[in-house]
A and B are shown apart, each in its own frame.
Chain A
Amino acid sequence: MDGLDLLKKDWKKREGNIPQLSYDEIYKMLLKRSSSIVKWIFVISILEFLFWALITIFWADHEYWAEMERIHLKEFTVVTYVINYGITFFFIYCFYKNYRRISSTDSVAKLIKNILRTRKTVKYYIGYILISTALITLIYTYFFMNYHASNTVVEDVEKYSFTPLQWLMFAGIMLGGLAVFLGIIWIFYRVIYGILLRRLNRNYKELKKLEV
């Protein structure tokens, strides 16, 4: 007999030996809480949104606004805040819409795709945060230096000005520092994604391997 036929026969034979749960045992399970991956992804994503939203709120204390006023960047800051919150809410809306689409009655491939899409929204959000943080930091640095350069009176200008090489070094250190900071945050997210989604990605790839 073919090995697989034998297996199938045995499989059917074992059907009668499966220990059965009672009505009450099953009923009790309905009251337990789910620990599915979707729930984890939902909680982690909400924490990420909250974390970045709160950080901007706590960052901007009185002193911060006073400093912005002094270097004439208050309006600019208010505008960036409004845009930033608008975009954040847009991402949260997309995230929620994708999340609602997840259904365990879909096919395996569709379910995985929808979960990955939900997570992708958060990934784009993080990407947006990193890029906008980089841009805004550069803009602020420029204005800040510009302000100090034009408002500080020094007797011996020579002594306090940078040579081109020094400017280059300064810019290099600034950009390098920024890149390292953003890079660390990016790696941190890659690790979280890697751990959370490894199995989903692997299974999705496996399913789609032969599809054209």
Chain B
Amino acid sequence: MDKELEHQFVKNLEKHQNIAHKICRIYTNDQDSHNDLFQEITIQLWKAYPKFRGEAKFSTWMYRVALNTAITLYRKKKRSIKTQDFDTVDFKIKAEEYDDETEQQLKVMYSAIQELNDIEKALVFLYLEDKNYRDISETLGITEVNARVKMNRVKTKLKNILNP
């Protein structure tokens, strides 16, 4: 039974691992931290898995546990290597896909995200993932109005960084 559950879980996670990778990407700056956080997310998901009864989709459930891990449960380890450029970590996009200006713009945006606090990062992440305000407010445990106001503030903040 346990083996079956394990197999089912790993299969599910393998299929939806992008969610965890993207969260790691928002919340960490280097590959080692990325791997650490990914591992902690996996452990937390696995610990909570017996309670997952398939009422929601695995991916929906995963967003919540993974974000909780990144924001609340994960303890950052002290590392000697400090920040690394966001886009040099592991998601390289070929330069020729964008013109210079666009590429520069994106670079500024991604490094601006790194400067946001944990909650603002969660808002940006959920926005980028096309989540609606109801989902966002439920995941974070705040009212929808509050979620809207906060989101608008973060958008303004990012826009200001982009067009000073």
Complex CA gap A79/B136 in Å reads 54
Instruction: Flag if A37 contacts B72 (CB, 8 Å).
Output: yes
Indicate whether A103 reaches chain B with its CB closer than 8 angstroms: yes
Indicate whether B134 reaches chain A with its CB closer than 8 angstroms: no
Of all chain A residues, the one with the shortest Cβ separation from B150 is: A210
Of all chain A residues, the one with the shortest Cβ separation from B162 is: A3
Of all chain A residues, the one with the shortest Cβ separation from B97 is: A13
- Neighbouring B residues of A200 by C-beta, 8 Å: 72
Indicate whether A150 reaches chain B with its CB closer than 8 angstroms: no
Of A30, A35, A112, A203, the residue contacting B6 (CB under 8 A) is A30
Instruction: Flag if A11 contacts B128 (CB, 8 Å).
Output: yes
Mask: chain B, 46-90; 1 = CB below 8 Å from A; 0 = not: 111001100000000100110111011111000000000000001
Of A10, A14, A29, A108, the residue contacting B71 (CB under 8 A) is A108
Instruction: Flag if A107 contacts B138 (CB, 8 Å).
Output: yes
Of A10, A37, A210, the residue contacting B149 (CB under 8 A) is A210
Instruction: Flag if A35 contacts B17 (CB, 8 Å).
Output: no
- Whole-angstrom distance from the CB of A41 to the nearest CB of chain B? 10
Indicate whether A70 reaches chain B with its CB closer than 8 angstroms: no
Instruction: Flag if A207 contacts B102 (CB, 8 Å).
Output: no
Sorting the interface of chain A by its residue count into under 10, 10 to 19, 20 to 34 or 35 or more gives 35 or more
Of A3, A19, A27, A29, the residue contacting B158 (CB under 8 A) is A3
Query: Which residues of A are interface residues toward B (Cβ below 8 A)?
Result: 3-4, 6-8, 10-11, 13-15, 17-23, 26-27, 29-30, 32-38, 40, 103-112, 115, 199-200, 202-203, 206-208, 210-211
Query: Which residues of B are interface residues toward A (Cβ below 8 A)?
Result: 6, 9-11, 13-14, 17-18, 21-22, 38-40, 42-44, 46-48, 51-52, 61, 64-65, 67-69, 71-75, 90-93, 97, 102, 105-106, 109-110, 117-120, 122, 127-128, 130, 138-143, 145-146, 149-150, 155, 158-159, 162-163
Top 7 A-B pairs, shortest CB-CB distance? A109-B141, A107-B141, A36-B73, A29-B42, A3-B162, A206-B119, A34-B43
Question: What are 16 A-B residue pairs whose CB atoms fall within 8 Å in the complex?
Answer: A8-B128, A21-B38, A26-B14, A26-B42, A27-B6, A30-B42, A35-B40, A35-B75, A36-B73, A104-B69, A107-B139, A108-B71, A108-B139, A203-B119, A207-B142, A211-B143
